Chain A
């Protein structure tokens, strides 16, 4: 049981961004992808989510054997158990967080079945309390006027509510101060389980001190070029990415 990506190539317009990426995240593990800006990390997250601007040219992605790319609409992938926390979450004017998450949960119920409103709010408030999000946020429009940290906490809140099988966190640490980073990391760690896999995409090693990964991958120019344990993250932090690129003459 895993989230498995094999030889994935993908474009935005005519530009090839992913150039044969392979990666397998077994259920129960946390994997991290590190890489420089422009290496294609965020593209991977958006492609898995099904962003319409990107075109998959080749390769496969499966979730516990389920063909992700056979599900054309992003909402199908989400309901099948995939969650992507975005680097830049969208603002949705006039749609409150409570109504937004409620609609997302309602969409997971069979036709004709109604979400129990009381249970829903209890659940929502519990998760908000855990993430130290003021309960007043339920009536605020999704991400509108939120600080960077509030947006990221709101992404983690959505993840906690939607209870995915695989979660991809794209630069969830960017824009967070140290307190917010701890809160967000606690939220993620609380969800670690043998029944769930995580892919944590980050630019900095700092996040991985809080969300300790089982495996660290290094991405260069649209491919995974090196994988190792958590000490790889420390080495990258100390020595930068140049030595990785030098080891990969074919990519120069």
Chain B
């Protein structure tokens, strides 16, 4: 078994030679970079023990290919679907993709669309602390999804990607790279799922690029097993008058570190950054965000919702950064913690750094229990306390899902959420 610090099995690589060289360099960088420490602001409050990766090994090919394909169930109607297991392609289907749209594996794109790949692949510097994990991701990347929507093209139905992890101590490196051309429109739902309940490590990256006037809705349904340690790095670059709506639903994972960067590089750009996090047991969700306003008159709206039960932990550290030229910025950042247990441990660190004085920014964090009056009202209708609490949690998250415009997508996410909270 190849450990994560050894060079990958050469036969497994479908990458072009130049990228394999880059991967060797990345592995050396991973070795060279120091591990995160808590006194580093980017890792403040973090539980670093969860990030001991010594037990994890290179993933073998999946054993239960047919089962995983059959279990990759999402929306009723999709334009296309890509299913990967342990970093390799298992299945691909395309039913309603407009002409010119490229939707294939990342390794194929590196060969056949090298210009696009070179331009956009991990093009943003790591800003939120996970330099070491970004290097590891690049070094061990084996497969992923690549989507390019050309200018003035609308993909009417959502595109779905399923990324599975299978096996004890397996390691997966999911990667989704989406490039939206000028005035294009697309919705992508990215599912992260475990085939079993064995310890696993996931280190994923998604890069979203929106050119002028593009509109992207990106939903990540993170549903790893509770035994999984996961690091997810997201970056979104929003061009002029483009609108990105990104929602991360952290349904699973035992330890989850998420870093989300949204950079508004064009005037009138808009970025919506949403996250819903039901946490219980001893699970920990550590999320760091940056809303980087480079261009003037851009809008960013961040809303993260955590519901914490038992001894669970959440960490939210967010920064709104308004660069000197970003006059007329409208930026909003809010984290809300619904506290369901006295032992739960929410940590919130909202922040602002404003280098232009013609801006509108607000940020804040709230902690609150489930309202006793709401519970009483529900009880007065015969609903037992435990069920009432779950309904309130469900309602707490639904109030965010209501912001999604696509009815079918919203209904689908509502039903995933209800199932996750055992409402029905």
Hey, which bits of chain A sit against chain B, CB under 8 A?
Answer: 49-52, 73-75, 77-79, 84, 86, 89-90, 92-96, 99-101, 103-104, 107-108, 141, 158, 162
Q: Contact: B382 with A79, CB < 8 Å?
A: yes
Q: Which residues of chain B are near A107, meaning CB under 8 Å?
A: 382-384, 387
Q: How far is the CA of A52 from the CA of B385 in the complex (A)?
A: 13
Q: Which residues of chain A are near B364, meaning CB under 8 Å?
A: none
Q: Residues of B within 8 Å of A, CB-based: how many?
A: 26
* Main secondary structure on A side of the interface with B: mixed
Q: Contact: B381 with A104, CB < 8 Å?
A: yes
Q: Which residues of chain B are near A77, meaning CB under 8 Å?
A: 380
Among residues of A, the one whose C-beta sits closest to the C-beta of B384 is A75
Among residues of B, the one whose C-beta sits closest to the C-beta of A84 is B380
Q: Contact: B380 with A49, CB < 8 Å?
A: yes
Instruction: With a 10 A CB-CB cut-off, give which of B371, B372, B383, B384 has the most chain A CB atoms.
Output: B383
Q: Contact: B382 with A90, CB < 8 Å?
A: no
Q: Contact: B383 with A104, CB < 8 Å?
A: yes
* Main secondary structure on B side of the interface with A: helix
Q: Which residues of chain A are near B396, meaning CB under 8 Å?
A: 93-94
Q: Contact: A90 with B374, CB < 8 Å?
A: yes
Known contacts A95-B392, A107-B387: does B378 contact A100 (CB below 8 Å)?
yes
Q: How far is the CA of A79 from the CA of B385 in the complex (A)?
A: 13
Instruction: Give the residue of A74, A78, A79, A95 whose beta carbon is less than 8 angstroms from that of B395.
Output: A95
Q: Contact: A94 with B394, CB < 8 Å?
A: yes
Tell me the minimal C-beta distance from B371 to chain A in angstroms. 8
Q: Which residues of chain B are near A108, meaning CB under 8 Å?
A: 382
A-B contact pairs, 27 of them (CB 8 A): A50-B376, A51-B376, A52-B372, A74-B376, A75-B381, A75-B383, A79-B382, A84-B380, A86-B380, A89-B377, A90-B371, A90-B373, A90-B374, A92-B377, A92-B392, A93-B395, A94-B395, A94-B399, A94-B402, A95-B392, A95-B395, A100-B381, A103-B378, A103-B383, A104-B378, A104-B382, A107-B382
- Is B379 interfacial (CB 8 A cutoff)? yes
- Is B20 interfacial (CB 8 A cutoff)? no
Report, nearest first, the 10 A-B pairs whose CB atoms are least far apart: A94-B395, A78-B382, A94-B398, A74-B379, A95-B395, A90-B377, A94-B399, A104-B381, A75-B379, A79-B382
Tell me the minimal C-beta distance from A102 to chain B in angstroms. 9
Q: Contact: A99 with B382, CB < 8 Å?
A: no
Tell me the minimal C-beta distance from B14 to chain A in angstroms. 45
Q: Contact: A162 with B382, CB < 8 Å?
A: yes
